Amino acid sequence: MVSKKKKKFSSGEGAKYISRRAALRKLQVSLREFRRLCILKGIYPREPRNRKKAQKGDTGIKTLYHIKDIQFLLHEPIIWKLRDIKTGSKKIAKARALKDYEKIHKFNNSYPVLKLDHIVKERYPTFIDALRDLDDCLTLCFLFSTFPSMKHIPRDQSQLCRRLTTEFMHYIIEAGVLRKVFVSIKGYYYQAEIKGQTVTWIVPHHFSFEPQNRAEVDFKLMSIFVEFYIVMLGFVNFRLYHSLNLHYPPKFPSLSATNIEKQLVDEDVFVSERVAALNYSIAKNSNDIVEEDVAIDDFCNEDDPEKLAEAKKEAESIENLKTLFKGLKFFLNREVPREPIVFMLRCFGGEVSWDKLLFVGATFDENDESITHQIVDRPSVDNKYTSRYYVQPQWIFDSINNRELMPVKKYFMGEILPPHLSPFTNKGLTDIYMPLEERALHDPTLLEEIHKKDKEAEDSEKNDIAENNDDDHIDESESDIESAEELQENDTKKKLSVAPGKVTKEDPQQKGKEARQEYRLREKMVKNKHKRLYKSMMQNKLERKKEIWLLRKKRRLHEEAKNEKNQKS
């Protein structure tokens, strides 16, 4: 019996992948619908091991997808909903062309609505999975919350982003889970620890929106991501609020329904309302059970007592961090960015207010004698109160990152601020440049020791210069005495019968040569399939070393210029 001849590319790499054009024919959707479908379902192009076989002998570069992902999309109910939306849009367009207003009203009422609840449950089967993927969701939602009404973005989408992000910030305040903060030219970086998961997101600076001259960013594509993230963040907020016995959706006392139309026109109105909402506590339920934090006890699974002591120390520092600004009252000047400052101070128990004539939501006036700190970002103030400190906003950031109140002397109004260091250091990389101030951040005693050594070196240099001129004639007599003593010691050594052993010194050049030879032998043991990865790792290591060298050189030149300036002055 003659066996049937096997077709080429029917198995192996050729049967695993499918091109985008073939996927569109298989699913019977347009490219626009396919992109939306892939974003919502979390399906992305794949890179095959052998592109020529995966493309069935074609040498060009195509966008390839895994065949199983496309087969799963065949049974997705969203495809049928997209087709219903397509036919509904065609019916409305036809009725509008015929000016049949009765049919337009009928089709608009029965227009299909796309629901993404089942996709969120499918992509995140557990709540912890959703928290692990919350970084991009929050960053994009905070970005869209700053956008006005734009061409390719639905008006209610940016409004919903604003509400959901405000709700999330209120949860962070009530739970006290904020851990690290940092400000850069990109915006404000925040890191929180929610249910054991580290969540990091960026909030952009609040500037008036300027439309782009060129279409460099595809806002329509980003809007599809936000469409999914809005549903996801709504689920997450609901679970987080109920875990803290909070009523959801929260009712903000400063937000009123009469200002909604004004908010769409004037962006400053909404920002004032949102910041005012952060300054109020939200309502709690009376019957629900609150999840309590479990304290670390001695009956832990850790066998190492040092790790247990470190865990206890970390837990104590976190408890102190939660009440860092408790009992302190802050007043913000008008030039200070209010939203991030209010958010951070409220997270750690501080009371905040501002000028009630400028913005709504103020809780106390500037002439209140119980104010402990006034946040100022200008060189001088006309009316000063002796009962409070006038500090710059960086004092708040540095105090939170150090988990203790920093000395206010370095942050007074008009002072040159210390370097604002990022707390998001990569602990896995050892060969990274770490400035002196950052090392002192991890080890506070290090900076004091370095300053002491510098002072001692300067004092010794001054003493040496002063004593050299006076002790020239003494050196000659001392050298004669030392030579005589050496002759006497040599005579006594010759009389001894047992000669002491000599310590042979290792040749550093020979030792380095042997180490390099051993290293080359270890490199030859790397397998062929791992050699490309090894080369890229070594290349990255060399680039990091070069970057460290350049940064150290830059720091040295800066210090030398600074010293020359001080000497001239």
The DSSP-derived string for 284-296 is B-SSSPPPPPPPP
pLDDT of 477 reads 45
**How far apart are the C-alpha atoms of 325 and 376, rounded to whole Å?**
17
Rounded Cα distance, 148 and 270, in Å: 11
Measured in residues, the chain has a length of 569
- What are the pLDDT tens digits along the chain (569 aa)? 556 777 777 777 888 899 999 999 999 888 988 999 999 998 999 888 888 888 888 888 889 999 999 998 888 888 888 888 888 889 999 999 998 888 889 888 888 888 888 999 999 999 999 999 999 999 999 999 888 777 777 778 888 898 899 999 999 999 989 999 999 999 999 999 999 899 999 999 887 666 666 667 788 888 899 999 999 999 999 999 999 888 888 876 544 444 444 444 444 555 666 676 677 676 666 554 444 454 454 545 556 777 788 788 888 888 888 888 998 999 999 889 888 999 999 999 889 998 888 877 788 888 888 999 999 988 888 888 888 899 999 999 999 998 889 888 889 988 888 888 888 876 655 667 777 766 665 666 665 665 666 566 556 555 655 555 444 444 444 455 455 555 555 555 555 556 677 777 788 888 888 888 998 898 888 888 888 889 888 898 888 888 888 988 988 898 889 888 888 88
Nearest to 386 by CA among 377, 397, 374: 374
What one-character DSSP code corresponds to residue 358?
A: T
Nearest to 84 by CA among 92, 95, 74: 92
Q: How far apart are CA 164 and CA 172, in angstroms?
A: 13
- Amino acid 213 reads N
Provide the H-helix boundaries in 405-471.
436-442, 444-470
Residues 88 and 428: their CA atoms lie apart, in Å, by 54
Cβ-proximal residues to 397 (8 Å cutoff; 6+ apart), any chain: 181, 182, 183, 344, 420
* Helix, strand or coil, per DSSP, at residue 451: helix
Give the pLDDT of residue 252. 65
Phi, psi of 134 (to 5 degrees): -90, -15
Q: What is the DSSP string of 23-57?
A: HHHHHT--HHHHHHHHHHHT------SSHHHHTTT
Per the structure block, which two tokens stand in for 19?
A: 């091109």
Which burial class, exposed, middle or buried, applies to 201 when counting CB atoms under 10 A from its CB (0-12, 13-18, 19+)? Answer: buried
| Distance between CA atoms of residues 302 and 93, nearest Å | 68
> Residue 273, class by beta-carbon neighbours within 10 Å (0-12 exposed, 13-18 middle, 19+ buried)?
buried
Query: CA of 418: how far to CAs of 344, 391, 433, 507, 556, in Å?
Result: 20, 13, 18, 45, 17
Phi/psi at 187 (5° precision): 150, -155
Amino acid 245: pLDDT: 86
* Cβ pair 367, 383 in contact under 8 A: no
SS3 content of the chain, % helix, strand, coil (to 5): 55, 5, 35
Q: Which two tokens stand for residue 512?
A: 């380095």
pTM of the model: 0.75
- Return the C-alpha torsion angle 441, 444, 448, 453, nearest 10: -80
Residue of 220, 219, 174, 182 whose CA lies nearest to 201: 182
Q: Which amino acid is at 25?
A: R
Which is it for strands 351-353 and 329-332: parallel, antiparallel or unpaired? parallel
Cα angle 460, 461, 463 (rounded to 5 degrees) comes to 65
Strand partners, 333: none
Domains of the chain: 13-75 (no CATH), 117-208+218-278 (no CATH), 321-424 (3.40.50.10190)
Residue with tokens 């009523």: 247
Strands 373-375 and 389-391: parallel
Rg of the chain on CA atoms, in Å: 34
- Would you give the DSSP letter of residue 323? T
